[in-house]
Amino acid sequence: MPGRRPGTRTWLTTSAGRAELAEWERIAQLLADAEPGTVYDPDADDVVRAELGAGAAAAAREAEIREAARVAARADEFQALRELGTLAQTEPRDGDEAVRDELTRRAGGYVQADVGAWLAHALVARLGHYRAPAACEAAAGLLTPPVLAHAALLAELARLVPGVDVAQLAFAARLATAEPEAAGDLAVFLARVRS
């Protein structure tokens, strides 16, 4: 048949071809029903907006699944580091705050004191991703009050006794875990005394 493009019939029999043709027909009908001279605007098309919204929701779900898998893998790594006794030598990474929460969830709510102490020390010593000031600021919203109180108390005790070994300050973790508010108050008091 003259004027017919080669492969047109084959293209129309594919599901992609039929879907594209249906979409063009839908758009043509929208324009036929609109005021004369109306130009098609995909941003004003409810069907397109719904598809974009569904795509964004699916992408967000996929990102959540990937993040949950990353946290679970890092939690497994923490368990291995604990068993080897090398967690204290490990530098924290972005997202390790969520790993602490995952370990707590896995343990049925049991507080992960060793991981909390490790994060508090890393925050004070500016180890790993805490080297970045933005990560330190974000930690205030990501870490639990006992961990933050522990970090504040460690910082003040280290200023009070320069060069002190963190192992000598294990009592700070116990105080912060038992009474986070009191430990925070003590850190504030020590900062005032130092001033």
Tell me the per-residue pLDDT of 136-171, one tens digit each, with 9 for 90 and over: 999 999 999 999 999 999 999 999 888 888 888 889
Q: What is the pTM of this model?
A: 0.66
Query: Residue 32: what are its φ and ψ, rounded to 5°?
Result: -65, -35
Distance (Å, whole) CA 190 – CA 184: 10
Tell me the per-residue pLDDT of 81-93, one tens digit each, with 9 for 90 and over: 999 999 989 999 9
